[in-house]
Chain A
Amino acid sequence: MKVAVVGAGPAGVRAVEVLLGAGIRPVWIDEAADGGGRIYQRPPAPLQRDPKALYGFEAARASDLHAALDAAKPRADWRPDTLVWNIHSGRKQLNTLNAGRQGVVEYDAAILCTGAMDRVVPVPGWTLPGVTTMGGAQIALKSQGCGIGRQVAFLGSGPLLWLVAYQYAKAGAQIAAVLDTTAFATKLAAAPGLLRGPATFAKGLYYVAWLRAHGIRIAEGVTPLAIEGTGDVTGITWRDAAGRTQCAACDAVGLGWGLKPEAQLADLAGIPFDFDALQHNWVPRRDAAGRSPVPGLYLAGDGSGIGGAEVAELAGARAAMALLQDAGHAVETAALDRRLAGLARFRAALEKAFPFPAHLAAGLPDDALFCRCEGLTAGELRATITGPTVAAPELNRAKAVSRAGMGRCQGRVCGPAAAEILAAKLGCTVAEVGRLRGQAPVKPIPLVATP
């Protein structure tokens, strides 16, 4: 049986571990040079790799995962530095690109563990050099030992906001401000549910308390106004909860409002997507074990709906077990299923504590860029409703008319904001305007003269 696993983050590592344990040697592909995914990304060899310094409270978990990764690599058909740019679920083929060379991987069953990226709300000035995603800010620090600037502001909402600010402060960067778009009261209301995951909740409180104790400027319930600067970032302005305009000088800004699945392969495979109102994301359809409706395809980790690293590890293992079960192996999964169900309840509380600020995206000023690739403004997207062609009743028509999502990133970055802008303009829900359909290649691939 030919099995392929795409992705070597927490979900991919645990999936491969289970497969190897059952005597299956999968083709295991990751776009990066090493595994670990984004969360447990290891720095290139010349940098220090001390887990405590890099992963903090998660050091033990990171070390365990790296040990499993390193043990699994030589036993699997490990293919790093390899982009899977297309999937054909009928022929059961993956199209790959490695060092400029095209390849095809045949599979009988495949587990897609394609991870997530930051979910971003555009803010005027967000394309300036010096502005990165929250995840990007964290990667710069963890994987490269660098801050994105000397004096950094963080803007967004969710656990990563506080964690990254804490990590930056500990590393010696100046924190200009930590700006949370969620009001304190919203988080407080969700606190009882968060106690289902006491360790995670406590860590979150610790970061916030630490930042406060170190006199770092913190504001909650803010409305971002602009990232200031012409060539480079010089400051950030926002409206505070009381309605006053505030500003802070800074030379870099990290932005992020939780995560969104990198689910392009699931899309190209023809797996249907559903709008998950709680996480406010489109997620590929799967059962609790990770089976997709497309025969032979399994989904695990944040690429199948945001659950975080701990869930991803369990879900990766569970999806591999589902694959084995479907191939006739007897596998005991009851305990694992109970743990996954418990973590799902905690996740629901977390989403309630940090809701996606749809109103901020919807209210982006007409002259602000929302699509980085095509250089499009919110006003240009809104014009698709009233412009010289028939109205855009959904996102793909708006894409066709405005080019939103037609650039190099294929709407990864601007997609959520575009949907909010369009929904607000049409007066319908974001689920009703739909989602940008995926198109191969998943990421840019070069025109080449030789195959």
Chain B
Amino acid sequence: MRLARLRDTDRVPLHLSLEGAGIAALEGDTLLTALLAGGGGYLREGEFGDGRRAGFCLMGACQDCWVAVEGLGRVRACATLARPGMKVTRG
């Protein structure tokens, strides 16, 4: 999945990582936006062999966008603002 940035692209850039790979994002992005607009592709693997997930409701209800951030623990990507230097792992 790749989110398409349609407006408000003149924001301050910031950088974080997903599974060690660099992700370029913008200030004001949620983690979900940062990772999925930045080429991360997906956020977690379904635990029961049912495929990759990349969130669904984007409003903190469906619980399908959990990721882990070093130092923060597990968070919902849709409800967490991206910060420079965040080290994110999937699931």
Q: Do chains A and B touch in the complex (CB under 8 A)?
A: yes
Which residues of A line the B interface, CB within 8 A? 31-33, 38, 43-48, 53, 100, 117-118, 127-133, 135-137, 139-141, 143-150, 171-173, 231-233, 251-252, 262, 369, 372-375, 407-409, 412-413, 443-444, 446
Minimum CB–CB distance from B9 to chain A (whole Å) comes to: 7
Q: Are the CB atoms of B50 and A375 closer together than 8 Å?
A: yes
CB distance from A149 to the nearest CB of B (A): 6
Which residues on B sit within 8 Å (CB–CB) of A262?
Answer: 61
The reply to whether B2 and A118 contact each other, CB–CB distance below 8 Å, is no
Sample (23) of A-B pairs whose CB atoms are under 8 Å apart = A117-B62, A128-B51, A128-B52, A130-B1, A133-B59, A135-B58, A137-B58, A139-B58, A140-B3, A140-B33, A141-B6, A143-B30, A144-B28, A146-B3, A146-B5, A147-B3, A148-B4, A150-B4, A231-B41, A231-B52, A409-B64, A412-B62, A413-B57
Q: List chain B positions with a Cβ less than 8 A from chain A.
A: 1-9, 11-12, 26-30, 33, 36-37, 41-43, 46-64, 66, 73-74, 79, 81
Contact (A146, B58) CB under 8 Å given A140-B33, A375-B48: no
Report the separation of the CA atoms of residues A408 and B44 in the bound assembly, to the nearest whole angstrom.
Answer: 14
Besides A131-B56, A148-B4, A413-B62, 8 more A-B contacts (Cβ < 8 Å) are A128-B51, A132-B55, A133-B57, A135-B58, A144-B33, A145-B7, A173-B6, A413-B61
- Measured between beta carbons, the chain B residues less than 8 angstroms from A118 are 57
CB distance from B73 to the nearest CB of A (A): 7
Q: Name the A residues within 8 Å of B51 (CB-CB).
A: 127-128
Residue of B nearest to A131 (CB): B56
Contact of A443 with B4 at beta-carbon distance under 8 Å, contacts A45-B28, A117-B57 already known: no
Nearest-neighbor residue (CB-CB) of B72 within chain A: A100
- Give complex CA distance A392, B5 in Å: 47
Chain A residues closer than 8 Å to B3, beta-carbon distance? 140, 144, 146-149
Report the separation of the CA atoms of residues A95 and B54 in the bound assembly, to the nearest whole angstrom: 30
In the complex, A132 Cα to B4 Cα: how many Å? 14
User: Across the interface, which residues of A come within 8 angstroms of B52, CB to CB?
Assistant: 128-129, 231
Q: Note all chain B residues with C-beta closer than 8 A to A131.
A: 56
Q: Which residue of A is nearest B40, CB measured?
A: A129
B73 contacts A171, C-beta separation under 8 Å:
no
Q: Which partner residue on chain A sits nearest B81 by CB separation?
A: A44
